[in-house]
Structure 1
Amino acid sequence: MPRLIFFCGHAGTGKTTIARRAIAALMAEAHARCSGESFCLLDKDTLYGDYSSAVMGVLTGDPDDRDSPPYLQHLRDPEYHGLLNTARENLGLGVNTIVVGPLSREIRAHKLIDRAWLKVAEDVELRIVWVHLQENEARRRIAARGNRNDAWKLAHWDDYRSRLFRLSPQDYPELLMFDNTRPTEQDFTQLLAALA
């Protein structure tokens, strides 16, 4: 049975880095067991970054905009629909699929555990990792990485941070919470065990 693993979280939390490290470890484990399992990594920014830049350049004149109302109204949902459609195609081929993206609205609404909404079969194993860290550290990392898509966030931090939310584990028992502020090797090992 294939696995569908989500790595979600706000910008700057390190979800892509953790997902890449996890998929490498899961692939090595599958190889060691000679299981024949295959894996696919689907990162929303990789799949749709250039496309969204072209569209936003036409819509607003700012190809790096990923936070303004035009982006949120016209591109956000189609990007996620395409991301999930691609994940379903891989799952249908028996490929374990790791999906990376904020998916914050979907997390808040508990949609990622709703198989009917996801349109995935009962035999697909679901895991959802919420990568988080302290706000000041997230802002520091966003500024340090120098991604042009983050310019709006940094220039309008108060507006951006008003959309952020903290999840309480008791309200979201479906999530594997991963604090990426200063994770230890043991923290990562425990995450891998939960994904297995």
Structure 2
Amino acid sequence: MNPATRPAIQSQAEARLPMTEALDQIAEQAAIGVTVVCGFPASGKSTAARYLADLIDAVIIDKDAFAPDLEESVMAELTGNPYDRDSNEYMRVVNPHIYRAFVHQAFVIGVRVPVIVDAPFIGHVQAAARRGVALSEHLMSTVLVPLPLVRTIWISAMPNQIRDRMSYRGAERDIGKLADWDAYRAHVLDSGIEDAAQGVVDYVVRNY
């Protein structure tokens, strides 16, 4: 685990509401600069981002709302699946550019007001782990703008909980994942990304 990781790691035995109590611990620091809330789809990122933003009156910048039509149209052309965010084609062609613009916007705003960023950042977690640097350092290296204070949170959830949440929310972008769940779990959830994240983020918050 990243030596900079602070004691916001909770377990069900330690707290009745582990995620919210962990976020309460983080809120004071999150009142300045940019707080990146990342994790697997349906792990609880958006719930955590909204909770934290309400605590500190922060702006939320949500990856799902950042140029979705562009991503969908490009991926429909590349792979035939407009909701593909896990293939090599997405990671090679789309991910670097869309995330660079996304992070740029968050940092520009975060210099002036507190910002909560809600996005998976899976490719960036992997890149930071390969480089042996913190996720915040890796993100700051991708843009050329005045840099705010940056902290990172990984929302950890169990695969069965992720599947249940995907089924419950009924989003079109989850249909392919649920239809071939074993492959998605093997390729993404059980691929070592969770372990990599715990080594590069500032906080791990358990949503289970």
Same fold? TM cut 0.5: yes
Q: In structure 2, how many angstroms separate the alpha carbons of the residues matched to 1:111 and 1:117?
A: 11
Displacement of 1:180: 1.0
In structure 2, give the amino acid aligned to 1:90. Answer: I
Query: Pick from 42, 50, 53: which aligns with 2:69?
Result: 50
Quote how far apart the aligned CAs of 1:168 are: 7.3
Partner Cα distance (1:22, 1:81) in 2: 24
Q: What residue is the counterpart of 1:19 in the other structure? A: 49
Q: 1:135 aligns with which of 126, 138, 159?
A: 159
Q: Following TM superposition, by how much is the alpha carbon of 1:26 offset from its aligned partner in structure 2, in angstroms?
A: 0.8
1:50-80 Cα deviation digits (max 9, x unpaired): 2212223333443333333433332122221
- Look up the match of 1:9: 39
Q: Assess, with a 3 A threshold, how the Cα gap between structure 1 residues 170 and 88 changes in structure 2: closer, same or farther.
A: closer
- How many residue pairs get aligned? The number is 167
Larger deviation, residues 141-150 vs 10-19? 141-150
- Give yes or no for the alignment of 1:147 onto 2:171: yes
Does residue 50 of structure 2 align to residue 41 of structure 1?
Answer: no
Question: Displacement, 1:7?
Answer: 0.3
Match of 1:88 in 2: 107
Question: In structure 1, the residue corresponding to 2:66 is in which secondary structure?
Answer: helix
User: In the TM superposition, what is the alpha-carbon distance from 1:103 to its structure 2 partner?
Assistant: 0.7
Computed over aligned residues only, the root mean square deviation of the Cα atoms, in angstroms, reads 2.6
Q: TM-score if structure 2 supplies the norm length?
A: 0.69
Q: Does the alignment pair 1:177 with 2:196?
A: no
Q: Which residue of 1 aligns with 2:94?
A: 75
State the SS of the aligned residue for 2:176: helix
Q: Which moved more, 1:139-148 or 1:154-163?
A: 154-163
CA distance in 1, matches of 2:174, 2:49: 20
Letter matched to residue 113 of structure 1: S
Letter in 2 for 1:44: K
Partner of 1:34: none
2:135 paired residue among 92, 99, 112: 112
Q: Matches of 1:76 and 1:147 in 2, distance apart?
A: 21
How far apart are 1:129 and its partner, in Å? Answer: 0.9
Cα distance between partner residues in 2 of 1:139 and 1:170: 21
Structure 1: segments with no counterpart, 5+ residues? 28-38, 182-196
For residues 126-157 of structure 1, give each alpha carbon's deviation from its aligned partner in whole angstroms, at most 9, with x where no partner exists.
Answer: 22111011111111111221111112222332
How far apart, in 2, do the equivalents of 1:54 and 1:168 lie?
30
Deviations 1:61-102 (A, max 9, x none): 43333333433332122221111111122134x122211111
Residue 48 of structure 1 and its aligned partner are, at CA, apart by: 2.4
Identity among equivalent positions (%) equals 29
